[in-house]
Structure 1
């Protein structure tokens, strides 16, 4: 779960970058949607960190820890991205986040931690829906589950 805390901490920053730098015909739509997505990300990050504390864990809480332990990669905004490239960047990260939740779901189920299991399944459900929305914006089908 702590790896996901790191991922969500980094994803939050990456979403701000997209929110700040978006330009084009869909500016008003995407500016708002990226803000909604980083607000959702904040809620998920908080859920994960608080659950870790409830089970006597120590959630990562610094930028250094996020960068050291996240599987997402930081991307400085050097070259402008099109609106579609920005949305695809968010989708790629969302897919990685969703697919990695599966490991936590399996572990929490195996350990008999029903609360953590339910929490992770609920987060995965949110991500599935979000991926569907953003891939629909791109005119694509939702990205299939990793194990399908």
Structure 2
């Protein structure tokens, strides 16, 4: 019976490593998307969104680094090339030519999708009693849910 539990834990740990790697890729692509939006936002929301997008891409960098370092700490190997990021991510790149409102709408959808993916990883970490990873991911989920809410509130929704 103990062997089955160990094998199940090993399988869940491998799944967690994959989920964390996906987060590394997602935050790397989001960093680039946010930088694009920072450079190309136009219109009446320029000053506010230009600064907000910079704040968000700085946060994306920190999240990507935190997840990658945690992955290394628990024996994983984080993705570290653009090719790997694009193969692993579910985040679409910026289309180009988006309005400020379309940029915000896209980010809200991206952040909501990230929150759902983080919940799955939180459950994986919990299943193998990796409280440190679980706590890190809960904090991240809380922060991006707040970011999504604030962007929606900014647009009057």
TM over 0.5: yes
What is the Cα deviation at residue 75 of structure 1?
Answer: 3.3
> 1:82 and 1:76, CA in 2 relative to 1: closer, same or farther beyond 3 A?
closer
Structure-1 separation of matches of 2:129 and 2:77: 20
* Preserved contact between residue 36 and residue 94 of structure 2 (Cα < 8 Å): no
1:28-57 Cα deviation digits (max 9, x unpaired): 111000000000111111110000010011
Task: Give unmatched runs, 5+ long, in structure 1.
Answer: 141-148
1:4-26 Cα deviation digits (max 9, x unpaired): 11111111001111111100011
Query: TM (normalized to structure 2)?
Result: 0.85
Higher helix fraction (1 or 2): 2
What is the Cα deviation at residue 60 of structure 1?
Answer: 0.5
Task: Give unmatched runs, 5+ long, in structure 2.
Answer: 1-19
Structure-2 separation of matches of 1:105 and 1:35: 27
Alpha-carbon RMSD across the aligned residues, in angstroms, is 0.9
Number of equivalenced pairs: 138
4+ runs of 1 displaced by more than 6 Å? none
Corresponding residue of 2:120:
103
What is the Cα deviation at residue 74 of structure 1?
Answer: 2.0
